[in-house]
Amino acid sequence: MREFPLFSVPRAETRLRVLAGGQTKNNVIEIRDEQPGDVDAVRDVNRRAFDQEQEGRIIDALRERGAALLSLVAVADGVIVGHIMFSPLTVGSVVGAALGPMAVIPAHQRRDVGSQLVTRGVERLRDTGCPFIVVIGHPGFYPRFGFRSAAAQGLTCEWDVPAEAFMVNILNPQVGSSLRGRAQFREEFSTIE
């Protein structure tokens, strides 16, 4: 279990049925915590999904520096086909989470694997008391999981990103009512190439 100032994330394992379109040999996608033996497979999933090495290096750096708040993998037929990581993110003195990177290998994209990873990650963080999650991602994908405009919430991003891609999911309305300011990601996102 990784301890943080406002919440902690216990390890858990969940098997989720794949929805229509997400067929695998046994029709089950397992969503589970990343294990030490998964490091190479996680790096490979990110390389294949993004067609570059940067995301894998960011994940490695976050993991090595103890900043992987929650790291989940999706397993189909014994093979890791997806990955999602959450790391600490601050707005002023409030600690929440940053979602990303999230990756699914091309052969399993558009088969609900990414949706299952996001759903399970958000549930796990909500259950631990995480007050909010920030993502820079596709505006056609993340709103279905409760993400809304971060700018409308009064948040700014440290990078120049399209406003519609900068989103927040408020998990604790009491914290959300006063959450304003700059979302500060871990330095690994700016320093790892």
pTM (2 d.p.): 0.86
Indicate the CATH number for domain 2-191.
Answer: 3.40.630.30
Per-residue pLDDT, 7: 41
Which pairing describes strands 155-157 and 181-184: parallel, antiparallel, or unpaired?
Answer: parallel
Per-residue pLDDT, 93: 94
Residues in CB range of 98: below 8 A, 6 or more apart = 86, 87, 88, 89, 133, 134, 135, 183, 185, 186, 189
Per-residue pLDDT, 27: 56
**What is the length of the chain?**
193
- Residue ranges in the chain whose pLDDT is less than 50: 1-25
- In terms of Cα–Cα distance, which of 5, 31, 9 is closest to 18? 31
Q: In the chain, where are the structural domains located? A: 2-191
